[in-house]
Amino acid sequence: MFTFSLPSWIEALKYIDLVAVGFFVLFGALVYVIHNYIPKIGAVAWVTAKEALFQPLFTILTLVGIFALFIFLLIPYNTLGEDIKLVVTQGLTVVKLIAAFLAVWTASTTISEEIDGKTALMALAKPLNRRNFIVGKYVGVMIAVTLIFLILGTFFLNTVSYKVVYDARESAKDVPKAIECAQAIYDILPGLALAYLETIILAAVAIAISTRLPLLPNLTISLLIYLLGNIIPVIVQSSVGQLPMVVFIANFVSAFLPCLDHFSMETAVAMGKTVSWYYVLFAVGYAALYCSAALLVSLLLFEDRDLA
């Protein structure tokens, strides 16, 4: 008779939570360094982060994410032993979408509302230039996004670890060892890293748009960029052999919009493949370059913006 025991799951969780605590400590140390050793940028970032963290949206999104991840754990998918793949793909998507929505919403409101309310003009009247203002806003947005990502990511890894044991119990198999639970978690860590990189790109784009447009147009454009960014390879491939105008539009879109499909791990999970950390390293370089370009555009758009 199958006996369900938790030691393997709990033992794996000890390593998960230990790593999670390490990331939280590192995150707190970085926030402390930014706030105390880069005073101008740190001051703007701290105010922006507090506004994002104490707004009801942050709490609502966190609770919705935890509830969704918990429900995915219990849904019977009837996939003959492949339930774990669906849990991973759906969990990655939920964490990414919630973090991206928080990033776009906060970036949209924190700049456009301060411009409309003349708060930005008052802030820049102090010894604070526009470059520090934009960079500080972006850092503040990323503090809030990183925190919700750590919370949901930690809970997601816990659900995946438990799902390995849960599926074994439902299939009347032997209780998985802790190493099996830990391996399942290790395999999806690159996916979380890629999802985070995609989020910081969307945040940088939203910051650039918010220097000129209010919340609703920013959300619409950001959603359009997200959708197009995930189908750019399909657009380019489908333009082969087509009319010159179609080829031009496809190449134009692929040249300026971020190729967000590079940050998606869902297909690899569905095919039973893993993403290497070398690929994640190249993705970090791509994200850094695109974020830098987006922030440069933000500075150019905000430099001559009439705040009065």
pLDDT digits (tens, 9 = 90+) for 176-207: 666 677 777 788 888 889 999 999 999 999 99
Report the distance separating Cα 73 and Cα 242, nearest Å: 45
pLDDT computed for residue 206 by the predictor: 92
Let me know: does 286 contact 99? Beta carbons within 8 Å.
Answer: no
User: Which tokens in the block code for residue 256?
Assistant: 């300026």
User: Which tokens in the block code for residue 1?
Assistant: 């008779």
Instruction: For the chain, list residues with pLDDT below 50.
Output: 1-6
Report the distance separating Cα 119 and Cα 293, nearest Å: 26
pLDDT computed for residue 32 by the predictor: 83
Q: What pTM, to 2 d.p., does this model score?
A: 0.86
pLDDT computed for residue 162 by the predictor: 76
What residues does each domain of the chain span? 7-303
Sequence-ordered list of residues with C-beta below 8 angstroms from that of 40, at least 6 positions apart, any chain: 127, 128, 132, 136
Q: What are phi and psi of 189, to 5 degrees?
A: -60, -40
